[in-house]
Chain A
Amino acid sequence: MAFLEIDELTVRLPQGRAARPILDGVSLRVGEGESVGLVGESGSGKSVACRSVLGLLPEGAAVSGAVRVGGRDVLGMRRAELRSLRAREVAMVFQDPRASVNPMRRVGDFLTEGLRAAGTAPAVAARRAVELLEAVGIRDPEGAMRRYPHHFSGGMLQRVVIAAALAGEPSLLLADEPTTALDVTTQAEVIAILTRLQAERGTGMLFVTHDLELAAAVCDRVYVMYAGRIVETQTAAGLFARPRHPYTAGLLASTPRLDPDAGPPKPIPGRPVSLAEAPTGCAFAARCAQVRPECLVEPPALVRADDAYAACFRVDEGIVT
């Protein structure tokens, strides 16, 4: 049994706010200590899936399916259970550190808040926070505890956020685009710190990003999402060697490369499906170069192809790009 199991999770916004579900039968697994990537364009539902693990769902949404952490159903938890889950078992690192830390409180208050919510004594929490600041490479951790978020750069503040997420010694870390708001040089540092600490502590991680290459570099396995569905999942290495879904192949082909023989990047034609559209068949059909008549009739199910799974009628034929 995997530590995190999402089974057939479907999330629908209230009538009139969206034509299709934001999540449509999403299933995914993260084992203990495993790093799993969740890749998709903005609006594909990856962040919603990620937040559902903490029981954070859009207001008024109709939800079916199950989210289990350590075998317990998150969606059926009472408030107190949810609080304990969030404080001790699953922690999240958000995209923009500037927005995710309260600008009016000291960094120390931010770091210890989760621990104190879980009932740790203030002095113990403070000692632990200093250790973690040291672990994420913040100089003068004691001084940093007394400073305010605006005294830190974005990259340094994201380190603080990572330290705060690890403070409760969670078994699972949710990272929702943790480096998207940072500049490239800082990105690499933050990713290095994140993966090092995660490996050292044996923490499982669900890494959400729009960057397939980054996901492949960080994760053991990758799920690719499109329009609220998982369209492909396989190992990071397999994804590059042999993408099974035309969307994944398109994502790979659209990445710019430094290699002089690689040729210019080929963007995927068209645009992502908005929440106002509800195509009857495969949601990617309108942008797919290999579309066939049956693709427009009903959405393909996720089927096995060797070690991979892909939701495409032509999964066995291989992809011509």
Chain B
Amino acid sequence: MARYFLARFLGLAMVLLATSFLVFSAIHLAPGDPVTFLLKGHPATPEAKAAVRAQYHLDDPFLSQYAQWLGDVCAGDFGRSVQFRQDVGALIASRLPTTLFLIGYAALLIVLAGVLLGIVAALRPGFVDRFVLIGTGVATATPSFVASIGLVSVFSVKLGWFPTFGGGQGFAGRVEHLTLPAVALAFTLSGLLARVTRSSMLDELAREHVEVARARGVAETDVVRRHVLRNALGPIVTVVGTMIAGLLVTTSIVETAFSVPGVGGLLVSSVNVKDFPVVQAVTLLTVAAFVLVNLVVDLLQPLVDPRLSPTGRGAS
């Protein structure tokens, strides 16, 4: 078991190292010169340009720039933001709670709506099933920015139930401000999860051990809970994991649409102005979160299905 964990964490470190290189080189391959932005509002004299280039090590060879940056990152220093003239780590840290709250909120909505709709559809073939299928089909086909616009125009502008922008303060304020963004994020994905849940449930419903349980006089609700839903969890957990990881990316669209002061919105504005230290840090963070979520999913799978236990002895 310890060997397994060690191997997984080594793998995680390797993935992060490889991505850090890609992230660092990608920003340098992108067109445009950060110096122009850095000098915005100042006369772009050759001396000023040279000073900026020196400050950000822009004239060093590429690999040594990378090594310098990687060393700083490992020490927890992500550099200074070009647009905010502020430490990137502190900048992200101040916005991270809002984003994490939004992602958690959206994930909760996705799981609740998706799993519930999926179960209902699987257990009620016919009209209900078709209704859910059509509804989730529409939801899945709706991009989150379209959902954002629709939600704002109905619930904020027409009905005035929710604010149109901002992140809110305290738990209640956050819930008030982030409900619409969370719904916008959850809309597409809960439709997808409902479909995954439905088909996984249908697969399990057809299994013989389900009929055996019925043939032994087990009540139908227990059959569904202990044999059908329990066994259908594998694909659901995998998909939810991927979705949560994906939310880290999708959130930038929704945060921009609702002007939520989160990490996603920060990424979008930083890309627009070539604020490369911020882009690098946020991208690396996203990749790290992605890999971590996948690791958590992999560690959860043996709890769901004892046959997948890495030691082959079953979870105990």
Contact among A96, A109, A114, A151 for B216, CB-based, below 8 A? A114
User: Cβ of B7: which chain A residues have Cβ within 8 Å of it?
Assistant: none
Q: Are A151 and B314 in contact (CB under 8 A)?
A: yes
Q: Are B215 and A56 in contact (CB under 8 A)?
A: yes
A31-80, CB < 8 A from B: 51, 54, 56
User: Cβ of A99: which chain B residues have Cβ within 8 Å of it?
Assistant: 207-209
Interface string of A145-165 (1 = CB under 8 A from B): 011101100000000000010
User: Cβ of A104: which chain B residues have Cβ within 8 Å of it?
Assistant: 230-231, 304-307
Q: Is there a chain B Cβ closer than 8 Å to A84's Cβ?
A: yes
Alpha-carbon gap, A100 to B211, bound state (A): 8
Q: Are A117 and B216 in contact (CB under 8 A)?
A: yes
Alpha-carbon gap, A83 to B316, bound state (A): 32
Alpha-carbon gap, A190 to B34, bound state (A): 78
Q: Is there a chain B Cβ closer than 8 Å to A86's Cβ?
A: yes
Selecting from A87-95, A213-221, A241-249, the interface stretch reads: A87-95
Alpha-carbon gap, A146 to B313, bound state (A): 11
- Given A99-B208, A100-B208, A117 and B314 touching (CB < 8 A)? no
Alpha-carbon gap, A101 to B219, bound state (A): 17
Interface string of A107-150 (1 = CB under 8 A from B): 00100011001100000000000000000000000000011101
Alpha-carbon gap, A92 to B314, bound state (A): 28
Alpha-carbon gap, A105 to B227, bound state (A): 9
- Given A99-B209, A150-B307, A87 and B230 touching (CB < 8 A)? no
Report B188 CB to chain A, min CB distance, Å. 30
- Given A103-B307, A104-B231, A148-B314, A83 and B209 touching (CB < 8 A)? no
Alpha-carbon gap, A104 to B230, bound state (A): 8
User: Cβ of B306: which chain A residues have Cβ within 8 Å of it?
Assistant: 103-104, 148, 150
Alpha-carbon gap, A102 to B211, bound state (A): 11
Q: Are B216 and A100 in contact (CB under 8 A)?
A: no
Q: Are B222 and A54 in contact (CB under 8 A)?
A: no
Interface range on chain B (Cβ under 8 Å from partner): 20 to 34
Q: Is there a chain A Cβ closer than 8 Å to B213's Cβ?
A: yes
Contact among A85, A94, A100 for B217, CB-based, below 8 A? A85
Interface string of B298-310 (1 = CB under 8 A from A): 0000001111000
Q: Are B222 and A101 in contact (CB under 8 A)?
A: no
Q: Are A100 and B212 in contact (CB under 8 A)?
A: yes
Q: Are A102 and B231 in contact (CB under 8 A)?
A: yes
User: Cβ of B218: which chain A residues have Cβ within 8 Å of it?
Assistant: 83, 87, 113-114, 117
Q: Are B217 and A87 in contact (CB under 8 A)?
A: yes
Q: Is there a chain A Cβ closer than 8 Å to B226's Cβ?
A: yes
User: Cβ of A148: which chain B residues have Cβ within 8 Å of it?
Assistant: 306-307, 314
Number of interface residues of A (CB under 8 A): 33
Alpha-carbon gap, A312 to B238, bound state (A): 60
Report A101 CB to chain B, min CB distance, Å. 6
Contact among B217, B231, B314 for A118, CB-based, below 8 A? B217
Contact among A82, A83, A105, A168 for B226, CB-based, below 8 A? A105
Contact among A54, A101, A146, A151 for B215, CB-based, below 8 A? A54
Q: Is there a chain A Cβ closer than 8 Å to B57's Cβ?
A: no
Alpha-carbon gap, A102 to B205, bound state (A): 12
Report B214 CB to chain A, min CB distance, Å. 7
User: Cβ of B226: which chain A residues have Cβ within 8 Å of it?
Assistant: 102, 105, 109, 113
User: Cβ of B316: which chain A residues have Cβ within 8 Å of it?
Assistant: 146
Q: Are A102 and B217 in contact (CB under 8 A)?
A: no
Report A183 CB to chain B, min CB distance, Å. 20
Report A93 CB to chain B, min CB distance, Å. 10
Query: Which residue of A has the minimal Cβ distance to B222?
Result: A117
Report A115 CB to chain B, min CB distance, Å. 9
Alpha-carbon gap, A85 to B214, bound state (A): 11
B219-274, CB < 8 A from A: 219, 222, 226-227, 230-231
Alpha-carbon gap, A84 to B218, bound state (A): 9
Contact among A82, A91, A102 for B227, CB-based, below 8 A? A102
B108-139, CB < 8 A from A: none
Q: Are A92 and B215 in contact (CB under 8 A)?
A: yes
Alpha-carbon gap, A54 to B215, bound state (A): 7
Alpha-carbon gap, A103 to B315, bound state (A): 13
- Given A105-B226, A150-B306, A117 and B209 touching (CB < 8 A)? no
Alpha-carbon gap, A123 to B219, bound state (A): 20
User: Cβ of B211: which chain A residues have Cβ within 8 Å of it?
Assistant: 56
Report B304 CB to chain A, min CB distance, Å. 7
Alpha-carbon gap, A117 to B216, bound state (A): 8
Query: Which residue of A has the minimal Cβ distance to B234?
Result: A104
Q: Are B213 and A102 in contact (CB under 8 A)?
A: yes
Query: Which residue of B has the minimal Cβ distance to A101?
Result: B209
User: Cβ of B219: which chain A residues have Cβ within 8 Å of it?
Assistant: 83, 117
User: Cβ of A164: which chain B residues have Cβ within 8 Å of it?
Assistant: 216
Interface string of B183-206 (1 = CB under 8 A from A): 000000000000000000000000
Alpha-carbon gap, A193 to B314, bound state (A): 28
Contact among B208, B230, B304 for A94, CB-based, below 8 A? B208
30 CB-based A-B contacts, threshold 8 Å: A56-B211, A56-B214, A83-B217, A83-B219, A84-B217, A85-B217, A87-B216, A87-B217, A92-B212, A96-B208, A99-B208, A99-B209, A102-B209, A102-B231, A103-B231, A103-B305, A103-B306, A104-B230, A104-B306, A105-B227, A109-B226, A113-B213, A113-B226, A114-B218, A117-B216, A117-B218, A147-B314, A150-B307, A150-B314, A164-B216
Please list the residues of chain B having a beta carbon within 8 angstroms of any beta carbon in chain A.
Answer: 207-209, 211-219, 222, 226-227, 230-231, 304-307, 314, 316
Q: Which 6 A-B pairs have the closest CB atoms?
A: A87-B217, A86-B217, A99-B208, A114-B216, A83-B217, A100-B212
